[in-house]
Amino acid sequence: MAIPGESESRFGRLPMLFIALATAGVVLLIALGGLALMRNIRGSQGATSTKVGGLAPDITVTDESGKQVRLSDYRGKSVLLNFRTTWCGYCRQEAPELQAAYEAEPELVIMPVNVREDAPTVAGYAKELGLTLPMFLDESGDAATAYDVRGIPASFFIGPDGRVFAKAVGPLTASRIRDYLAERE
């Protein structure tokens, strides 16, 4: 047998418990929403950005021998990261210019990254054009996605500090590459 008034107080606390839990849930949802919004504004890479002045996203690509290479392996050096394909006419036009820059600018690491292509295709292309500079593969397209590549060729000049100091869409010439490097100094 219940004591008069006891059941009322026990059930009287139940709505307060529901209100407290509901309030905590709403606060948690607002906090998570704010966090998601901040990540969306800043991008999924956090402090990295393909914008000039931003810290270049670290990517992993494959070299001609099948070895994985990370962009950060070249930290401390200037890098020309060049996204391309073998079937692109502008890329074909640009290839001898990259080769000339490779030979003339030994302090510059040139990384031609072939997007969604396999090693035999890229090796045949390099042989056909007489290219001796190293070629890299982004078979999955993940590296190009990290750099938000929307047109090719797309080039990103990255300083020794790992920050993007210039970018270009369209074919480069050896003299334009020298100009970008001179602007950096």
pLDDT digits (tens, 9 = 90+) for 32-64: 554 444 444 344 444 578 899 999 999 999 999
Write out the two tokens for 145.
């996605």
Residues 98 and 132 in one domain: yes
Q: What is the mean pLDDT of the segment spanning 118-134? A: 97
Report, in this order, helix, strand and coil percent for the chain, each rounded to 5: 45, 20, 35
The answer to whether residues 38 and 64 belong to one domain is: no
184 pLDDT band, cuts 50/70/90, is: confident
Which DSSP helix (H) or strand (E) runs through 13? helix 6-42
User: Is residue 52 a part of any domain in this protein?
Assistant: no
Q: pLDDT band at residue 6, thresholds of 50, 70 and 90?
A: low
For residue 92, being part of any structural domain is answered with yes
Domain shared by 15 and 87, yes or no: no
Question: Confidence band (pLDDT; 50, 70, 90) for 26?
Answer: low
DSSP for residue 18: H
pTM: 0.73
Residue 164 belongs to a domain with what CATH number? Answer: 3.40.30.10
Question: What is the reported pLDDT for 4?
Answer: 56
Question: Where is pLDDT greater, at 61 or 9?
Answer: 61
Query: What DSSP state is assigned to residue 2?
Result: P
Which domain covers residue 164, as residue numbers?
60-184
Same domain, residue pair 86 and 161:
yes
Q: In what order do the strands lie in the sheet with 68-70?
A: 68-70, 60-63, 136-138, 108-115, 78-84, 154-158, 164-169
Does residue 85 register a pLDDT over 90? yes
CB 92 within 8 A of CB 129: yes
Q: Which residue has the higher pLDDT, 18 or 145?
A: 145
Average pLDDT in the chain: 85
Residue 170, pLDDT above cutoff 50: yes
Query: Could you give the number of structural domains in the chain?
Result: 2
Task: Indicate whether 106 and 180 sit together in one domain.
Answer: yes
Are residues 73 and 25 part of one domain?
no
Residues 79 and 124 both lie in one domain: yes
- Quick one: pLDDT at residue 42? 41
Domain assignment present for residue 53? The answer is no
Note whether 92 and 23 are same-domain residues: no
The proportion of the chain whose per-residue pLDDT surpasses 90, expressed as a percent, equals 69
Do 136 and 61 touch, CB atoms closer than 8 A?
A: yes
The one-letter amino acid code at 140 reads S
Predicted pLDDT of residue 49: 80
For 134, the 3-state DSSP assignment is coil
Q: Would you say the C-alpha torsion 111, 117, 123, 129 has a positive or negative sign?
A: negative
Same domain assignment for residues 16 and 104: no
Check residues 141 and 6 and name the one with the higher pLDDT: 141
